[in-house]
Amino acid sequence: MAAVTAPDVDILVIGAGQAGLSAGYHLQRLGLRPEQDFLIVDHAPGPGGAWQFRWPSLTLTTVNGVHDLPGMAFTEVLRPGSDQAPAATAVPEYYARYEQRFDLRVHRPTTVRVVCDRATPTTCPTESVDGLLHAETVPGTPGSSGSATTNGSGERRTGRIDVPGAASGAAESVSTTGYSDDSSGKRLTGRIDVPGAASGAAESVSTAGYSDNSAEQTHRTPGRPAEYDTATDDSDATRARHATMASTEHRVLELSDSATIFDPPATLRVRGLINATGTWEKPFVPYYPDAGTFAGRQLHAHDYRNAEEFAGRHVVVVGAGISAVQLLDEISRVTTTTWTSRTEPRWRTDEFSRDAGRRAVAMVEDRVRRGLPPRSVVSVTGLPVTDRIRAARARGVMDWHPMFSRIEPDGVRWADGTPQPADVILWATGFRSALDHLAPLRLRGPGGGITMTGRLATQVAADPRIHLLGYGPSASTIGANRAGRAAAVELTEHLGLRRV
Ligand SMILES: Cc1cc2nc3c(=O)[nH]c(=O)nc-3n(C[C@H](O)[C@H](O)[C@H](O)COP(=O)(O)OP(=O)(O)OC[C@H]3O[C@@H](n4cnc5c(N)ncnc54)[C@H](O)[C@@H]3O)c2cc1C
């Protein structure tokens, strides 16, 4: 047994999205101090987690619902009439204020390139024989292709991403760190162009509709389906707050440069890890051997900016999740489209009740407890039929086709041999967990997933020092909140760190 030496900090939280911030809040409530007992790092340039990269047309009206972070309501930073505000600015502003109010001292941009706990010389630059987890950090946002950039300019860049194989959907995809956590181990031959300013889509977000009895609320604006309406935005208190906000300047706050207070070493030695790195940086594109022959443009929803850039071109939208139908609706307003996916879209016919939400989350939780890769929750809950969807149906654009059998230079070919000419293939095929930096820890089991345990299935069964947030059942803003609390409580207990 290796001797345990003093860590640089007890707990490292990787990622400052909803999950990482929730974890930070709860660690603090348990008596741990930021930068002394725990450290939050994030490699995005600003606050907001993945929200800062969402496409501009995703507004507070069209999101599923953004649940309040613990201890501070979203409505505190919302101006009146901000329903149409892009999520990419409104949510980052909320997170910025949150970080400031709770003095969470997020270090950014700092990338955790790899985490090791044993001597694995080929992947780990240091030998961690001291019983601690070693996190190799580098300043900045990774420049590798496939990672998000925040210039917000919408400029195209010519980078390409490698897409691993396994059309089964079980494989992880783009590596942003140089390490791969790909359970399949396959690399593919096809490539797709990646535009610069990031944005995206996930089919694994539908747990957002799930609410509980917690005091926090989900931001909802008029027109959203009732299932997301757990907030009481129209209360007198909220109206009064809005009135106050109207007279204050609305801007993303500049946070102090906490790196001047605490400068983390390149190798951080920690006793416990809360990984909250989300899914945004792992857009998933299923493997089609002939994808590389396509002469048009292929992109993932991650890189979608606006519909106008497709005007005059025929777009094949692939996917059966919420993002696919939203983007299909948008793009079909400016050009012709074809909609297809491997599995037939499942429309929800009933109201999305709290119980239905619980059941959906429970099914995903059950999978990760059994070591299976998490599955999209929308496959369990079905797609909500919103007014926009009804209108799109009336326009005749929700005309779904079973998946094409081939990709050819000029388009795709259906199973019956009919060609479908196309200029663009938009893959709205979801995301996987961004866990490449944990690959040396060899957390994946034979089932392709990581066996999880703990109260909310955030704890890695094989290594109780490690909690994964946003993995499986916690891949929503409400799930991330709860997972942050559970991880903070269980990890501090495990490490004997409880101070209050
Ligand atoms: C298009 C889209 C719409 C969605 N809409 C909703 C919705 O309406 N409601 C809802 O509840 N959920 C929604 N989701 C899901 C949503 O992403 C989650 O609910 C939640 O915001 C994710 O929070 P997170 O903290 O787990 O991850 P993220 O917000 O992705 O944060 C992860 C953070 O980790 C950082 N990071 C990653 N890797 C590293 C590394 N190696 N080193 C350092 N930092 C790293 C990133 O910079 C990022 O800031 C949506 C997802 C998508 C893709």
Q: What is the pLDDT of residue 65?
A: 87
Q: What is the pLDDT of residue 1?
A: 42
Query: Which of 12, 13, 18, 228 best tests ligand 1's pocket when mutated (most atoms within 8 Å of CB)?
Result: 18
Cis peptide before 7, with omega less than 30 degrees from 0?
no
Q: Taking the domains of the chain in order of start, what are their residue ranges?
A: 9-160+209-279+433-495, 291-346+382-427
| Ligand 1 contact via 17 beta carbon (within 6 Å) | yes
Predicted local distance difference test score (pLDDT) of residue 355: 83
Could you count the other beta carbons within 10 Å of the beta carbon of residue 238?
Answer: 18
Q: How far is the CA of 160 from the centre of ligand 1 (A)?
A: 22
Question: What is the Cα gyration radius of the chain?
Answer: 22
Q: Do domains 9-160+209-279+433-495 and 291-346+382-427 have the same CATH topology?
A: yes
Residue with the smallest CA separation from ligand 1 atom 33 is 15
Q: For ligand 1, is residue 44 a contact (CB within 6 Å)?
A: yes
Q: CA nearest 59: which of 352, 306, 301?
A: 306
Ligand 1 atom with the shortest distance to the CA of 51: 29
Report d(CA 69, CA 279) in Å as an integer: 19
Q: List average pLDDT for each run of 10 residues in the chain, which is 500 residues long.
A: 69 98 98 97 97 94 92 92 91 98 97 82 57 90 42 26 27 35 35 32 28 42 26 29 30 38 75 97 95 98 97 98 95 98 89 81 94 80 88 95 98 98 97 95 93 98 97 93 98 89
280 lines ligand 1 (CB under 6 A): yes
Around 370, how many Cα atoms within 13 Å sit in the side-chain half-sphere? 11
So what's the pLDDT on residue 450? Answer: 98
Third-level CATH fold of 9-160+209-279+433-495: FAD/NAD(P)-binding domain (3.50.50)
CATH code given to domain 291-346+382-427: 3.50.50.60
Ligand 1 atom closest to Cα of residue 277: 34
Taking alpha carbons only, the member of 322, 329, 291 closest to residue 422 is 291
Taking the CA of residue 476 as reference, the ligand 1 atom at the shortest distance is 19
Cβ 482 under 6 angstroms from ligand 1: no
Give the three-state DSSP class for 275: strand
Rounded CA gap, 141 and 197, in Å? 13
Ligand 1 binding pocket mutation candidate from 277, 456, 478, 481 (most atoms within 8 A of CB):
277
DSSP, res 272: E
User: Tokens at residue 488, please?
Assistant: 């903070």
Question: For ligand 1, is residue 437 a contact (CB within 6 Å)?
Answer: yes
Q: Is 133 helix (H, G, I), strand (E, B) or coil?
A: strand
**What would the two tokens of residue 118 be?**
């044993």
Query: CB count, 10 Å around CB of 339?
Result: 23
pLDDT (0 to 100) of residue 106: 97
Can you tell me which atom of ligand 1 is nearest the CA of 22?
Answer: 25
Backbone angles phi, psi at 249, to 5 degrees: -65, 140
